Structure 1
């Protein structure tokens, strides 16, 4: 897998759009390649998301296809430009799995992030000791040992929280605070870090108390990203043991947003969440 293969989401979105525009014009790939002055192989690589495209080349293809809608052109050109940025995550491309790097690059370009976690503290809020304990729990079942840079990668993601323009919100289940990850000392430090988060104006952390009972988040954790600031693109990230998904179909996104809104309604207020976290931390 090449480094570029780890930033595949943007290329897939551009490729899907190019394929759609070509097919709407009833052009074969060979005919379209002649029209846009590219080889059929190059055009196929763009459409299948196997090759990054420079913004100027994308602009030329959109011109040949007669795509004039400014909002759509800007969206695609922004995706092409973002995919070529030399972000911090590129230092980890040879170490981390493709989904993690792709997600981190989208997260870094986001203006808003909303996450729900059922069992573990969200990655952006973890202390290094907590992350180390989480990773250690998986080592007995991993086929390959986790890369030595994995903890540094997770800690590096957290730098986006220092951007006042980044609106980040998390809803966590109370079991997240009760699960003794790494022992009492680790959990005590982790809880106090969460208390600090509740004191930052542009960050929002809320807890769904165990007394709520059944709720629509029981299917698992997820993150909704608003990628970009002007007319942002929405993406939902879902991760599991063996793979991760980036979901962008409007009906699916709307469903996740409804679930998040319901969880927010069930959660304690920001101040009451802080009080609960402080109480649990004091018990440890």
Structure 2
């Protein structure tokens, strides 16, 4: 299946909006197609998220439906514009699930990333050896050696984000458990802790450790990533992963809840300076 035929987050959001606008105006797909001078099949493909839409075509539809809210229009047009961009992840189209590719595309286009990981090192900060150990041991499905290599290459490919000009601002809160859990063995962990120390010195990285002593905290339900993009971080979505599936949370009130949770985690975490000291101390004891 071609990537353009896949139902991605952006296309689903645009499609849901177009369906809602059409129904609010009491139009069937056939009637809307006549108004827009488009086939019903074409309109259905947009609404179902199966087909990418060009920003100029989206603007025409919004104009025809009388959608004048500038915030709504800007968000949808931004989604349409970004959704048509190519990226390195297209090389993995036939080997990985669409949702995995979709996350990389959203991540690469973001201006700010806020990530909380209670037990593991965040993917954008992992060494190749650590990534291999995590990917080889994760989940219950049997993976072929080829599938494992593909997943590792993909995860490391995501780290190209650090080389963007300019790179996004990346704020990470790691649970202290991520520094102790022996992923791949002592040597792998020593290299991983060394990478955390090195990468924490980069100007676009803000790394904090949430210590065991923090006790109960607002992130006990698990890891999450907040991706912000567009002018003034206009578009925000929360990426949540589980053993069975991954999903996106984008209702403004829900995103605000995650953002407040992350803010509180940062307040409970060690400062950047003290976080580096904690990493060094744990490494010296290993």
- Normalization by structure 2: what TM-score? 0.94
Aligned match of 1:47: 47
Q: What is the Cα deviation at residue 73 of structure 1?
A: 2.3
Counterpart CA distance in 1 for 2:245 and 2:2 is 18
SS of equivalent to 1:148:
helix
SS of equivalent to 2:52:
coil
CA-atom RMSD in angstroms: 1.6
Contact 2:117-2:223 within 8 A present in 1 as well? yes
Q: What is the Cα deviation at residue 188 of structure 1?
A: 0.2
Contact 1:99-1:243 within 8 A present in 2 as well? no
Q: Deviations over 1:127-163 (max 9, x none)?
A: 0000011112137x31443353211111111111233
1:28-67 aligned within 5 A: 28-67=28-67
Aligned match of 1:252: 254
Contact 1:227-1:235 within 8 A present in 2 as well? no
Q: What is the Cα deviation at residue 98 of structure 1?
A: 1.8
Q: What is the Cα deviation at residue 20 of structure 1?
A: 1.7
Counterpart CA distance in 2 for 1:231 and 1:278 is 34
Counterpart CA distance in 2 for 1:192 and 1:158 is 17
Aligned match of 1:149: 150
1:121-270 aligned within 5 A: 121-138=121-138, 141-145=140-144, 146-163=147-164, 164-270=166-272
Q: What is the Cα deviation at residue 4 of structure 1?
A: 2.7
Counterpart CA distance in 1 for 2:177 and 2:98 is 30
Counterpart CA distance in 1 for 2:51 and 2:168 is 30
SS of equivalent to 1:110:
coil
Count of residue correspondences: 283
Point out 4+ residue stretches in structure 1 off by more than 4 angstroms.
Answer: none
Structure 1: gaps of 5 or more residues: none
Cα 1:105–1:64 change in 2 (3 A) is same
Counterpart CA distance in 2 for 1:218 and 1:71 is 34
1:96-107 aligned within 5 A: 96-107=96-107
- Normalization by structure 1: what TM-score? 0.94
Counterpart CA distance in 1 for 2:126 and 2:60 is 45
